[in-house]
Structure 1
């Protein structure tokens, strides 16, 4: 198999299993944090006196990723930029809005969300490994996606890809989105991510409070986790039993 076909095959295989990466990062991250606490890692020892402030910094990074995801999802039509894992889907090619400055905004958003969590472990080795692993993992997925789009949209895709960077935004070429922002779609698609983000931060915060007697659990994180959890359950019920979040074409 030629390298080009092999990379695409690997990308499609990883695409179908991309939901597994968060689980791997989570379990290894928990181990890395506990290991760092017990070995008094340099970063952990430095930030421990300012633990809640450091948590806020990590949370800010993760929330920046969440905002990117929300902005992206809120401006896209149906059957594009989804969470599907079975196969590649693209009924249309997004080239305006955030897609005018970056070709893979959702993966940038995911990266920042998980980077904040990786930094929360205070394990430098784990954080570096996460960055490298994420790049290798998603580079192949992005390659497979772009091969799919290239075959489906031809020159339209090639012209857009030629002027638009894959992962690092080029803000000066921003053009407004063709579609208005849809809060309904964001709420419907991203409610899981918001709750999961606060839940994970609370989990890592609890581990530190459990292992270090001088550190207390962050009440703000606990409150946000509770609120987002209740919101998730309410919105899930609304989505399942009503049509309030439905919007034609979105």
Structure 2
């Protein structure tokens, strides 16, 4: 059974760039956002925004301190070295924890309980299978070093002890964050803006906030286009 789970994890890793957007789209189709018309709905939206900020913040902090090559090799799980520094000394999977917070934040902003529950179960199951496959690969390649890493660092929730000392120890690399993370940052802003516009439209309040939402969307897209241009012209490069 474990071998089957590992195979599924490899498949999910290989297809994740298509799978996750498709999964979010299906969830929003089956359990569409609800109108912003009551206090609980507003609380759900605030919780979702906080989750997205925490998730994106964790990803930015992780990449800015010690960058790890993502995407494997030819979209297959691969690592040429065991990264145990930076935020990886506090959580073995900080980027995945950030992803879960961001995607679950989308579901909380939508405010549909069915979507929140289905998303929670679905995203956790998918990432658990991917991590199972990665752990199998890393245990085979790095043997005792990886076993020792697992023994001292939690798989999911970051260990906060010594976190400030870790942050002070490294020079934060904003250029690497900009080059490597600008697409995810854009998504983390644009999806919530779209969901909020959807919810306001359902509540017949979109007209009151439409100029603000359009302005924020244009600002995000302009920033995305500028960073992409600087990256493509090699005027902005990762230092790692």
TM-score interval, smaller chain: 0.7 to 0.9
The CA deviation at 1:126 is: 1.4
Q: Is the 8 A contact 1:44 1:123 kept in 2?
A: no
Distance 1:94 1:144 in 2: 17
How many corresponding residue pairs?
235
Instruction: Report the TM-score, using the length of structure 1 for normalisation.
Output: 0.84
Match of 1:17 among 5, 15, 18: 15
Distance 1:106 1:218 in 2: 33
Q: For residues 205 and 150 of structure 1, do their structure 2 counterparts lie closer, same or farther at Cα, with a shift above 3 Å needed?
A: same
Match of 1:236 among 210, 217, 228: 228
- Structure 2 residue aligned with 1:206: 197
**2:95 matches 1:106:** yes
- Structure 1 residue aligned with 2:77: 88
Unaligned runs of 5+ in 1: 38-42
- Structure 2 residue aligned with 1:60: 50
- Structure 2 residue aligned with 1:40: none
**2:216 matches 1:224:** yes
Q: Is the 8 A contact 1:102 1:170 kept in 2?
A: yes
Q: Is the 8 A contact 2:47 2:109 kept in 1?
A: no
Match of 2:135 among 121, 143, 146: 146
Distance 2:171 2:130 in 1: 28
What is the DSSP-based 3-state SS (H/G/I as helix, E as strand, rest coil) of the residue aligned with 1:103?
Answer: coil
Match of 1:72 among 51, 56, 62: 62
Q: CA RMSD in A?
A: 2.4
The CA deviation at 1:74 is: 1.5
